[in-house]
Structure 1
Amino acid sequence: MKNSHIHSQLVTIVAKIAEVDPLEVTPKTSLRDELDIDSLTMVDLVAQIQDDLGVQIEDEDLTRIRTVDDLVQYVRGRS
């Protein structure tokens, strides 16, 4: 999958889960600080990514995923 395609899909998923406009989601957007994605919401995000993209995010890797760009890079590396 191309990086831009992954980014586009993840922005859509993140915006849906965080209940924000996709235009508010940039590569540098912090999942926790700017979008208020807590641990419970992160579970929903991970499940949606798995359903939509077929990529499993390991629990121990979640602490390293802080921004949308981190998420894109992680998914890109797993797909």
Structure 2
Amino acid sequence: MSVVIALLGAIWPYLAAAGAALLAVLTAYGKGRSDQKSRTETKDLRDANDIRKQGADARADAAVDPGRLRDDDGWKRH
């Protein structure tokens, strides 16, 4: 039993340093994933708003009633 305690006492600082390093790496990884997720959600929201705005602008710019044909649309009718 005393051999195990002596061995553990000798390697304890190394185990603590390895644990601290692992914790730091995992914390940085988690922070990076969290930041990327929030950036992605913000970009998706911005893109969705841009698409809605473009659609509203296109509908507002339509010069004719969607239920009738334009006379000057370039198609020849007989």
Q: Same fold (TM over 0.5)?
A: no
Question: Which of 1 and 2 has higher RCO (CA within 8 Å, sep 6+)?
Answer: 1
Higher Cα radius of gyration: 2
* Higher helix content, 1 or 2: 2
